[in-house]
């Protein structure tokens, strides 16, 4: 009996109701179906009196989700997709992402097209696009106290008030660099269209094997976005700040103390997206962000005498 999964945003009534209907449909078609809410992939935030919330990367996978699962349907917006990727990436399960949110930059299809999309998925008529992920670890005296998979970006900043912070950053075996800024972002190509884009970083197409480092409001004209190979680890050391906050993919994080070290490496796990048609990244940029659209008004051509 083939096996499928459903991951849904239980905060959204439409996603919850569609999850029930979809389970019935797949079950009646002879599939073994496992259902879980995306909340299990949200890491949560630590508190000042409990600075670390630590769940091992492989410990987030829900019961019944394993490498035998043909695909998992993800019902929600981009935040749901980010959470779902943590749940299924260690098992290599492809995700059919269905937009029930707003932007839906990471989603493949819409609710009104779900019946046709499910038929394609059940028949195996799709391509799989692998997206690189990061392994983010916080070490205190060389002991891992927090870790997570990251599809978009890791952000390090100060709270509750924004002010200048100093970071010592080591990329691979290169010499350390010092950056003074409100914060820093380390993103994957997938995350290049998220926070790092708003902070002035470049858009990177998903298949390029690189990472990027983007300072947030740097205090120097020389501190700009840096793109480097993703086979080089990144180590970040906070300097002269009592406490910082690290946020991964916008839905989980922990406090960073001066004795801590943040280590980022390309993960051995990838987020696997089902594509019902050949992936076309520029089309998504046009539809979601308006990139490369022709100007509405063009000057009339003037004939020279």
* pLDDT tens readout for residues 38-80: 887 777 666 766 767 778 899 899 999 999 999 999 999 999 9
Residue with tokens 């098992």: 91
Per-residue pLDDT tens digits for 94-111: 999 999 977 789 999 999
> Is 19 labelled a binding residue?
no
Per-residue pLDDT tens digits for 10-49: 999 999 999 999 999 999 999 999 999 988 777 766 676 6
84: left (phi over 0), alpha (psi -120 to 50) or beta: alpha
Q: Which helix (H) or strand (E) holds 116?
A: helix 114-123
> Is 153 labelled a binding residue?
yes
Give the DSSP letter of residue 258: T
- Band (pLDDT 50/70/90 cuts) for residue 298 is low
pTM higher than 0.85: yes
> Is 231 labelled a binding residue?
no
Q: Is 40 helix (H, G, I), strand (E, B) or coil?
A: helix
**Backbone torsions φ then ψ of 50, nearest 5 degrees:** -145, 80
Tell me the CA distances in angstroms from 133 to 24, 136, 155, 286, one per residue in order: 33, 10, 15, 24
Rounded to whole angstroms, the Cα distance separating 229 from 183 reads 22
Six-digit token string for 247: 């946020």
Q: Pick from 208, 233, 276, 247: which is nearest to 79 by CA?
A: 247
> Is 251 labelled a binding residue?
yes
pLDDT score for 278? 87
Question: Percentage of residues in the chain with pLDDT exceeding 70?
Answer: 92
Per-residue pLDDT tens digits for 220-277: 888 889 999 999 999 999 887 778 999 999 888 888 988 999 999 999 999 999 999 9
State the CB neighbour count (10 A cutoff) for residue 219: 13
Q: Over the chain, what is the mean pLDDT?
A: 90
Report whether pLDDT(159) > 90. Answer: no
Q: Pick from 158, 170, 133: which is nearest to 148 by CA?
A: 133
Give the DSSP letter of residue 191: G
pLDDT score for 67? 96
Between helix 13-28 and helix 114-123 the angle, nearest 10°, is: 40
Rounded to an integer, the average pLDDT of 125-143 is: 95
Annotated catalytic sites, by residue?
78
Residue with tokens 């990727």: 85
> Is 182 labelled a binding residue?
yes
> Is 198 labelled a binding residue?
yes
Domains of the chain, with CATH numbers?
A: 3-131+270-289 (3.40.50.10330), 134-268 (2.60.200.30)
> Is 78 labelled a binding residue?
yes
**What is the chain's percent helix, strand, coil content, to nearest 5?**
20, 40, 40
């Amino acid at each position: 009996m083939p096996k499928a999964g459903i991951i849904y945003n239980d905060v959204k009534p439409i996603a919850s109701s569609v999850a029930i209907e979809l389970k019935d449909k797949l079950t009646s078609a002879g599939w073994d179906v496992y259902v879980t809410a995306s909340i299990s992939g949200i890491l949560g935030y630590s508190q000042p009196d409990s600075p670390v919330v630590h769940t091992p990367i492989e410990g987030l996978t829900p019961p019944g989700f394993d490498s035998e699962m043909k695909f998992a349907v993800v019902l929600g917006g981009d935040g749901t997709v980010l959470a779902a990727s943590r749940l299924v990436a260690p098992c290599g399960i492809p995700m059919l992402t269905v937009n029930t949110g707003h932007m839906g930059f990471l989603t493949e299809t819409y609710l009104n097209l779900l019946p046709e999309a499910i038929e394609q998925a059940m028949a195996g008529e799709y391509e799989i696009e692998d997206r690189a992920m990061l392994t983010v670890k916080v070490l205190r005296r060389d002991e891992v106290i927090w870790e997570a998979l990251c599809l978009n970006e890791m952000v390090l900043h100060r709270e509750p008030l924004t002010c200048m912070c100093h970071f010592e950053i080591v990329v691979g075996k290169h010499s350390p660099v010092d950056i003074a800024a409100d914060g820093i972002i380390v993103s994957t190509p997938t995350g290049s269209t998220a926070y790092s884009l708003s902070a002035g970083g470049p858009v990177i197409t998903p298949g390029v094997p690189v990472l990027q480092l983007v300072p947030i409001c740097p205090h120097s004209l020389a501190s700009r976005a840096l793109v480097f190979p993703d086979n080089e680890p990144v180590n970040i050391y906070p300097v002269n700040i009592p406490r910082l906050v690290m946020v991964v993919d916008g839905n989980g994080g922990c406090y960073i103390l001066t004795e801590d070290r943040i280590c980022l490496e390309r993960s051995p796990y990838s987020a696997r997206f089902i594509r019902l048609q050949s992936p076309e990244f520029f089309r998504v940029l046009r539809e979601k962000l308006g990139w490369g659209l022709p100007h509405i008004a063009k000057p009339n051509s003037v004939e020279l005498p």
